[in-house]
Homo-oligomer: A and B are copies of this chain.
Amino acid sequence: MEILLERGEGRAAPVYRQIAEQIRHSIASGQLADGTRLPPIRGLAQRLGVHRDTVALAYEELVAAGLAEATVGRGTFVRQAALPAEATLPFEPPLSAPIERLLEFERARPRYGAASESVPLHALVPDPTLFPVDEFRRALGRTLTEGGAELLLYGGPQGHPGLRESLARRLRAQHGIEARPEELVICQGASQGISLALRLFAQPGDAVAVEEPTYQNVLGALLGLGLRPVPVPMEAEGPDLARLEQVLARPEVKLFYTIPTFHNPLGTVMPEVRRRELLRVAQRAGKPVVEDAFEADLRFDGHPVPPLAALDRVGLVVHLVSFSKSLFPGCRVGAIHARGRTIEGLLALRHSSDLGGAPLLQAALAAFVDAGGYDRHLTRLRRVLRGRCQAMLDALARELSGAATWTHPEGGYQVWVALKGAMDTRDLLADAMRGGVLFAPGDQFYHDGRPSSGLRLTFAQADEAGIRRGVAALGEIVRVRREEPKATHAESVHV
């Protein structure tokens, strides 16, 4: 029996459930016979690098499901006989083709079989130790006290007016976008914004131009919607515009998805001149541009570059905003800025998808922002990120000089490291886990999952000491690998 664990943002299930599910599967398939003793909790926890309680919880779930029996002092034993009769002949309704493709895509994602002491340089999730929890809790309590039952009703597909006012003001003042509250639709983080924007302009069978590499979840969203990504290669200063012009000229390509500021996974910023040219290309093609500005508030260095939406004079740009990386993701609040019929379409689509979000969280967020809490948090966060970024760049210079090149972010959380030579960074992941560091291999940011010698590091969750330790571990692994290029390693723990 082997157990593969996935952690962090977007894991399919909590770790204890992943363990329980995999053991359940082994029982159902007959791999673990009736009466077999499951591995002792302490030993399995050590091998998987998880806390003992996590394994204990997994075992408890199996016992609760009648699949195992715990005997005090002796251990936990498989009770195959307890499988209910119908479980042996379940009806499995066929899933739609896009969902099957999505499941295949999900299976190909790297499994971060994390020992808990590994440095999480793979995670693009903000550091919870920096969250202004108390201040937000007070805003939330006050908001519900003042707003009352009204905030527990449906809020409608457009979202809380106060939050839209507040966001429109910020977009105007901080980012030069002439946004009005009625041009904003609040959504469940930029990620729902992406799904809605894709559906707005493209229907199954259509294609969407994406930068390559790009945010891996956009590739998943496209698959799930029956859409096809058409890659536009990224250069140092942004997407190859000659290629973009060719791609957008195709009738089946309905829009361009781009991350011009603090690109994911590259961490780069598209210069203003390239942005203006990009808008001309899109305008000539008559195709909308979806601008993902998910880290736009996280500049800690260099000079601001206006977002595409601020340069757009004709209404080409749909602009996505998020609080998930700059504050915290748990409110699931982002926003879409668009104009005219695009807004009408978004409202109808949001209404038909889930009727809208939670007014209470939106109102509390507005109160928090309006009281200056968000700006105070950004000031602190940018300072921390500047330090962590510098620690990462210094460590990379120490550890990987000559073996790699990397980007120099002016904001956000991510650095792209391109290893020299024909290396597939997916192959390094198992070594890295053993060495105590996690990174995001580059292949997942390519539409065809091709092997990549690139990898994404983040300074989101690790502090400066952790970053130094993690990059040192990565440097060691790369050095070893460059010396013995043929070794293969399993990326899972065999129990």
* Residue ranges of A at the interface with B (Cβ–Cβ < 8 Å): 9-14, 17, 20-21, 61, 64-65, 86, 89-99, 102-103, 105-106, 125, 128-129, 131, 133, 136-137, 140-141, 144-145, 148-158, 161, 180-182, 187-189, 191-192, 195, 199-206, 217, 220-221, 223-224, 226, 254-255, 283, 286-288, 313-316, 324, 328-332, 339-342, 344-345, 347-349, 351-361
**Given A92-B341, A204-B204, A151-B330 contact (CB < 8 Å):** yes
Set of chain B residues within 8 Å of A200, measured between Cβ atoms: 95-96, 99
Most buried by B among A11, A61, A149, A195: A149
Most buried by B among A128, A255, A345, A353: A353
Set of chain B residues within 8 Å of A182, measured between Cβ atoms: 13, 17, 20-21, 61
Set of chain B residues within 8 Å of A94, measured between Cβ atoms: 201
Contact B156 A223 (CB under 8 A): no
Set of chain B residues within 8 Å of A17, measured between Cβ atoms: 158, 161, 182
Q: Which of B153, B157, B361 contacts A358 (CB 8 A)?
A: B361
Set of chain B residues within 8 Å of A355, measured between Cβ atoms: 9-10, 188-189, 191, 217, 329, 332
Set of chain B residues within 8 Å of A357, measured between Cβ atoms: 188, 332
The chain B residue sitting closest to A346, CB to CB, is: B99
Contact A91 B314 (CB under 8 A): yes
Contact A10 B96 (CB under 8 A): no
A354 shortest CB reach to chain B, Å: 4
The chain B residue sitting closest to A347, CB to CB, is: B12
**Given A99-B200, A348-B103, A315-B153 contact (CB < 8 Å):** no
Inter-chain pairs besides A13-B182, A199-B224, 4 sampled, C-beta below 8 Å: A20-B182, A95-B200, A95-B345, A141-B141
